Copies of this chain bind each other. A is one copy, B any other.
Amino acid sequence: MQIGKIARATGTKVNTVRYYEEIGLLKPAPRSQSGRRIYADADVERLVFIRRARGLGFSVSEVRSLLEVSDAPNRDCKDAANLARNHLRRVEEQIEQLQAMRQELIGLARACDGGTATDCGIIGGLARKSA
């Protein structure tokens, strides 16, 4: 299949597929006579793996590591497991940070009764160092 089809099949943009090849997440695809990339079903699976990992927030570099494990069937999976655990922890930290922001933003929003900028609790609240 050509690039457009694998892109559609995996919910990836054509440009992004080419980009993944460029950075080495996908091996350089064999080309047709006229130079078009040709993909096989295994490539779809690999791309699904990549997209899914990216969708879970793994960085490209993390995806690279996960693929390495996936590519070596006999390898101990503990590297992947550690990676996933660490990533989970970072996701949880992000959640906490966003929840803190959320609380402060709710407080700010409550401090606004309308009116002019001078009297606005949002503007005023931002001007103060701490919440």
Which residues from chain A sit less than 8 Å from chain B, CB to CB? 45, 48-49, 52-53, 55-57, 66, 69-70, 72-78, 80-81, 84-85, 87-88, 91-92, 94-95, 98-99, 101-102, 104-106, 108-109, 112, 114-120, 122-123, 126-129
Assess the B53–A123 pair: CB atoms within 8 A: no
Q: Which residues in B have their C-beta under 8 angstroms from that of A80?
A: 112, 117, 120, 122-123
Q: Which residues in B have their C-beta under 8 angstroms from that of A99?
A: 95
Assess the A73–B122 pair: CB atoms within 8 A: no
Assess the B49–A127 pair: CB atoms within 8 A: yes
Nearest neighbor of A10 in chain B, beta-carbon distance: B129
Nearest neighbor of A45 in chain B, beta-carbon distance: B127
Nearest neighbor of A106 in chain B, beta-carbon distance: B88
7 A-B pairs closest in CB distance: A77-B120, A73-B118, A88-B105, A70-B123, A95-B98, A69-B117, A81-B112
